[in-house]
Amino acid sequence: MLLLTRQPVRLAVALAGISFAGILMFMQLGFRDGLFDASVTIHRLFDADLVLISPRSSSSVSMAGFPRRRLVQAMADPSVEGITPVHWNLLLWRNPETRATRSILALGFEPNDTLFLGSDLAPKTRVLTEKGRVLFDELSRPEFGPVSSWFKSGRTVESEISGKRVRVGGLVALGTSFGADGNLLTSSETFLSLQPNTPPGSIEVGLIRLQPGADPQTVLARLKKRLPADVKVLTRQGFIDFEQDYWRTSTSIGFIFTLGAAMGFVVGCVIVYQVLYSDVSDHLPEYATLMAMGYPLSSLVGVVAREGLLLAAFGYLPAYAAGQGLYLLVRNATQLPVAMDTTRAVTVFVMILVMCMGSATLAMRRLADADPAEIF
């Protein structure tokens, strides 16, 4: 500790470099995980044990239709308790204030069917029985207009979707996703009137609820054998994984943010190595004296290793605090679910620890030059 504090400026520079590298890793990994989590905001809300989708669907922004009768056929399984057919598509919403248009995710379903987990949605869906009514997600981005504030103030909020007039009949709190900046719910009848080119009897998502105690994997295997190949059967978690895998493997998002975290790791390694190498070089005569007095090389190596360990610990703390503050800033600015979790906190700490200890290991090679016969 005394070796580190002997030169406060060098120590401050080292801690600043380590903290910067840690903040960079926190932000890159946080953005990556936050975007993956945001891609399944709606998926996590569905009240379903199994989900039917088309094999041609690639993600939430490119959902293909399949015959609704496949969902009805699934009802023949004795373990199936209920089903909900869901229409899913991105439609053009017109901002009622600025008249600008923006894509919004629209979900169409029968108002009496169960859609999401929890019971707070059921009373609000009654308004959807009237054609042309929608429930607007109050957590949508502000670019869709002051819909929430206008509705709460008692104003009648009307707008256009794909050129057709709709009226906001209520508000829901769902949350934005990576694929959609806003959401709205409507009845199947209204949805089909907004999308007149939708093939008759076609849906994009089929929700299946099982009897209490039924094993989803067992029912999934039975349905795969019974249903034709024009439909894919997934568990609820499989539906979530399907979406996240698309953004993880079919886009450059995962690679870009992982590369950013790796670059932060490399920058930190360079900074710590320079600090420790300079420290060992400055004290090389002292190390040589200790070796001449009989101290083994392993004990001197331990001194450098402890320096690396202390740098990792003291450099991580401000990085963690700054990461928490920046996550809060990002959440408020973008409404993306970017938050600190234990796994990421431990991962970044381990990366900083490896970074410091690896740099210390490289700096230890300088101790091999600590030969009293050559130095004095």
Which structure tokens are listed for 113? 């069917």
| 224-257 as b/e: b if 16+ CB within 10 A | eeebeeebbbbbbebbbebbbebbbeeeebbeeb
CA angle 55, 192, 157 (to 5 degrees): 120
Ordered per-residue pLDDT tens for the chain, 376 residues: 555 556 677 677 778 888 888 888 888 888 888 778 878 888 989 999 999 999 999 888 889 999 999 999 999 999 999 999 999 999 999 999 999 999 999 999 999 898 998 767 878 888 999 999 999 999 898 899 999 999 999 999 999 998 899 999 999 998 887 778 899 999 999 999 998 888 878 999 999 999 999 999 999 999 999 999 999 999 999 999 999 888 887 777 777 777 888 888 888 778 777 777 776 666 666 666 666 666 565 665 666 677 777 778 888 899 999 989 988 888 887 767 778 888 889 988 888 888 877 777 776 666 565 555 554 5
**Measured distance CA(350)–CA(352) in Å, rounded:** 5
Q: Indicate the SS3 state at residue 234.
A: strand
Residue 124: count other Cβ atoms within 10 Å of its Cβ. Answer: 15
Residue 6: count other Cβ atoms within 10 Å of its Cβ. Answer: 12
* Radius of gyration in angstroms for the set of CA atoms belonging to the chain, rounded to a whole number: 29
The answer, as to whether pTM is greater than 0.85, is: no
Which structure tokens are listed for 305? 């290793």
**Measured distance CA(21)–CA(8) in Å, rounded:** 20
Pairing between β-strand 202-203 and β-strand 66-67 as defined by DSSP bridges? antiparallel
Backbone φ and ψ for 164, nearest 5 degrees, come out as: -115, 140
Nearest alpha-carbon partner for 125 in 186, 167, 204, 207:
186
Q: Are 37 and 217 in contact (CB under 8 A)?
A: no
